Structure 1
Amino acid sequence: MVLLDRSTLMVVFAVMTLTMLVLFYFDTYRKSRAPFAGWWCGAVASFFLAAVFYFMGEVQEVAWAPSVGNGVMVLGSGCVWAGTRSLAGRRNRPWLLGIPATAAVAIDVAVRHTDNAPIGSIVLLALMGMAIGLASVELWRERAESWHLVRSLAVATAGCAAYYLSRTVGLAVLGPADPLFQVLFGTGVTLLMAMVLLVVVSSSITSLNYARRTEDLQELAYRDGLTGLLNRGEFMHQAHRRLRANLAAGVDTAIVMADLDRFKAVNDRFGHDAGDGVIRAFAEACRSAVRDADLVGRYGGEEFALLLDGVDAEEAVRIADRINAALAEKSSLPQGVDAPTASFGVVDARDRNAGLQRLLREADRALYDAKAAGRNRAVIGFTGAGTQAG
């Protein structure tokens, strides 16, 4: 059996981490710029630098290098934790990661040439174990749709944390020279655990990054680029299903068609950027006035369609009034210019045989009635008739 010395193991670890850093940076991080991928780049870079410092201390006998290596290892472990927090959408304070890293360096410098030299390694292992353990806790807390992608990462971080904390106890109880300690927690085993963590985390982050990018592309496929609302095709798709379900369950459903008043005049007078701003303001007004369960889509140009759950026509008119009020507040047109308004056509699906296309046609006729009646109002439509309601 061939046993590799510590310096050779350090070289192997350094080459591995550098290779993974280059591959991960160019193949994953540069394509997404995702924060969690950035944190993982920071972790791998830290582990590579730590290996370099340890090699300098082992081979070139640079006195300060091992202590700095300890601090950089702790920093890398902190980056793993920060990355898992980023995955969960939690805020990180990067400067906090420097506190335990600095403490690891200071303590190791203070005890390295004394009889208490193992204390530096104990502190290093304890801080690494806690940081990686916290990373595992973050992952286990987030049992979300992406759980299958991070499950192996959660298990790997939990295993590594348990190992590093066990090594801390072994070092404190048995001492570094004890044969049992060398068998269970020697340099080779410790570096092997670090390599396993690197491989599992890189694989998991790459898979998760690919899944996130796929979700983003799917989101772009059914969202309007200017407003973030559903585009026409996706609105029709979802509204068909929602209407059928509501009719079967006996739930009221209101269909609303909306059109911005005198929109061409805004474009002609203030330019297309101002027109786009009004469209975005209307989308924001809709989001503030309707519930998350309701559907809002950009039907085309300055025209919009809404499906409101559990709402009759009269309540839909009140929602339309709230949208117009919110639009006046959110508009960014120059001061002194009349606030933009919208006209609305409203119908409800009391007829169990009503289809979405028929309801949209009736709402569109009511919308034209609202325009003809002076704009800036909602009109309730019925088959073949229209009644002003606001």
Structure 2
Amino acid sequence: MSLDLASLLVMTALVVNVSGVLFILETFLRRDEGAGRIWSVGFLAGMLTTLAYMIWAQSPGAWWAIAVGNAAFVAGTGCMWLGCRRFNGRSMTWTSVLVAGAVVAAGLAVAVEGSSGGDWAGALWMFVPLLGFAGAGAVECLRGTLGESRTAWVLGAVLGFQSLYYVARTTAFVTAGPESALFESVFGTVNTSFLTVALTIVAVVVTSVLRASRAPIRGYLRRSAESVADIGDQAEFDAGLAALVRRASARSEVVAVTAVRIEDLEQISTAFGSDVAAALGEAARAGVRRHAPTNALVAEDGATGLLVALAVSSEQEARRQAAAIYRGLFDDLGRVGGGVIPVVGVGVAMSGNGNDPDDLTRAARDSANRAARSVETTVLMGDAE
């Protein structure tokens, strides 16, 4: 069976667009903590890529469609990497700037050549970022929170395969040229389109599963008016923590960040109903605020977590405060859930010389995740990088 280029691109566009629409629709039904939204942008970029290449296939002289398609392709893979970093709670500033710069460069490389550039105008400015971002995403899937999930290993394998493919494709492009028999038969548009379809399907399934583990369906984690007033959001916490660390550093004091992770709410919702899960979710929020020190910063950390920050005199005090939150929260959840108690993990990170607030938060999250899986320890101390 042989397919002409236009038909093949239509098939690729159909798969990518249907997969992207399903993922984006699910995004509106869930409360995720950022990774799902970034992946949604990646799938939107993939949809734009296929549409741009369809226009190019119908109008070979439309060089601007190649520019849009190349830039969107780079944006899609870059967002997959950024979503993985967000899932792991890593810094997003310089990586976002890097991805944005690569997207602009991929588009400008085609625009500079214009109509005289041909079908492969600016190809290397697309190939190199694709192999780099896909490789970085594969590495990100093997460390941090993602590295502890076998599902994430599948996404890592997908991104790793994409990276290796573009390493080989770039090598063939440079050494043999796009018109060579080797490039056309192995790395041409036909084979790349089939690869894109396969990887898109796997990526949608895997990212949906990963997001489901962190972003329960809306409805059973609604916040009451009281909790909205007492508990901030992630942006407010980041700003407050940065100011707290700055003041504490000037006075040679120590700041402790405590992360509380509530696991299994999605499974509890499925097994016992959304009302039970909603009651447990609200009890967790109210309990952390109630048992945390009065002057502590308290904020949501995604759909199933909370963060607490305050200045402490010693590691022992930080551990004691975290243990008090755990014990009080465990008792509150036992009274609300009628014997159904989710897994609770508490992690603590202490500031030191030159610690970045993001490092503190990430270390506390990692410790809380480990504590949630541990059967021996309820509160774990972590070290900020």
TM-score band (shorter)?
0.5 to 0.7
Q: Which residue of 2 aligns with 1:171?
A: 173
Secondary structure at the counterpart of residue 203 of structure 1: helix
Q: Which residue of 2 aligns with 1:228?
A: 288
- Give the Cα–Cα distance (whole angstroms) in 1 for the partners of residues 65 and 137 of structure 2: 27
Residue 279 (structure 1) shift:
10
Q: Which residue of 2 aligns with 1:186?
A: 188
Q: Which residue of 1 aligns with 2:31?
A: 32
Residue 31 (structure 1) shift:
1.1
Secondary structure at the counterpart of residue 172 of structure 1: helix
Match of 1:198 among 197, 200, 204: 200
Q: Which residue of 1 aligns with 2:163?
A: 161
Residue 295 (structure 1) shift:
4.4
- Give the Cα–Cα distance (whole angstroms) in 2 for the partners of residues 284 and 25 of structure 1: 31
Ranges in structure 2 where 5+ consecutive residues have no aligned partner: 217-262, 269-276, 299-306, 333-385
Q: Which residue of 1 aligns with 2:348?
A: none
Residue 141 (structure 1) shift:
2.7
Q: Which residue of 2 aligns with 1:101?
A: 103
Residue 145 (structure 1) shift:
6.8
- Cα offsets for 1:136-159 (capped at 9, x unmatched): 111123376742120101111101
Secondary structure at the counterpart of residue 166 of structure 1: helix
Secondary structure at the counterpart of residue 3 of structure 2: coil
Name the aligned partner's letter for residue 228 of structure 1. Answer: V
Q: Percent identity at matched positions?
A: 22
- Give the Cα–Cα distance (whole angstroms) in 1 for the partners of residues 74 and 21 of structure 2: 21
- Cα offsets for 1:205-235 (capped at 9, x unmatched): 111122224626279748643131799xxxx
- Give the Cα–Cα distance (whole angstroms) in 2 for the partners of residues 126 and 279 of structure 1: 50
Secondary structure at the counterpart of residue 328 of structure 2: strand
Q: Which is greater in Rg?
A: 1
- Give the Cα–Cα distance (whole angstroms) in 2 for the partners of residues 107 and 281 of structure 1: 47
- Using CA pairs under 8 Å that are at least 6 residues apart, name the structure with larger relative contact order, 1 or 2: 2
- Give the Cα–Cα distance (whole angstroms) in 2 for the partners of residues 112 and 290 of structure 1: 61
Cα 1:180–1:279 change in 2 (3 A) is closer
Name the aligned partner's letter for residue 184 of structure 2. Answer: Q
Correspondence 1:13 to 2:15 = no
Residue 53 (structure 1) shift:
1.2
Name the aligned partner's letter for residue 291 of structure 1. Answer: R
Do 2:32 and 2:214's aligned partners in 1 also have CA atoms closer than 8 Å? no
Secondary structure at the counterpart of residue 212 of structure 1: coil
Q: Which residue of 2 aligns with 1:57?
A: 56
Q: Give runs of aligned pairs for residues 314-329 of structure 1, distance below 5 A.
A: none
Residue 96 (structure 1) shift:
3.9
- Give the Cα–Cα distance (whole angstroms) in 2 for the partners of residues 130 and 279 of structure 1: 45
Correspondence 1:75 to 2:75 = yes
Residue 284 (structure 1) shift:
7.0
Name the aligned partner's letter for residue 130 of structure 1. Answer: G
Secondary structure at the counterpart of residue 225 of structure 1: helix
Secondary structure at the counterpart of residue 298 of structure 1: helix
- The TM-score with structure 2 as length reference comes to 0.58
Residue 34 (structure 1) shift:
3.2
- Cα offsets for 1:232-258 (capped at 9, x unmatched): xxxxxxxxxxxxxxxxxxxxxxxxxxx
Ranges in structure 1 where 5+ consecutive residues have no aligned partner: 232-275, 302-390
Do 1:70 and 1:124's aligned partners in 2 also have CA atoms closer than 8 Å? yes
Name the aligned partner's letter for residue 27 of structure 1. Answer: E
Q: Which residue of 2 aligns with 1:308?
A: none
Q: Which residue of 1 aligns with 2:319?
A: 291
- Give the Cα–Cα distance (whole angstroms) in 2 for the partners of residues 229 and 194 of structure 1: 47
- Give the Cα–Cα distance (whole angstroms) in 1 for the partners of residues 309 and 120 of structure 2: 63
Name the aligned partner's letter for residue 288 of structure 2. Answer: G
Residue 13 (structure 1) shift:
1.6
Do 1:72 and 1:101's aligned partners in 2 also have CA atoms closer than 8 Å? yes
- Give the Cα–Cα distance (whole angstroms) in 2 for the partners of residues 203 and 8 of structure 1: 25
Cα 1:49–1:178 change in 2 (3 A) is same
- Give the Cα–Cα distance (whole angstroms) in 1 for the partners of residues 70 and 296 of structure 2: 52
Cα 1:118–1:210 change in 2 (3 A) is closer
Do 2:32 and 2:215's aligned partners in 1 also have CA atoms closer than 8 Å? no
Residue 71 (structure 1) shift:
1.0
- Give the Cα–Cα distance (whole angstroms) in 1 for the partners of residues 175 and 193 of structure 2: 21
Q: Give runs of aligned pairs for residues 40-55 of structure 1, distance below 5 A.
A: 40-55=39-54
Cα 1:164–1:291 change in 2 (3 A) is same
Q: CA RMSD in A?
A: 3.5
- Give the Cα–Cα distance (whole angstroms) in 1 for the partners of residues 160 and 103 of structure 2: 21
Q: Which residue of 1 aligns with 2:274?
A: none
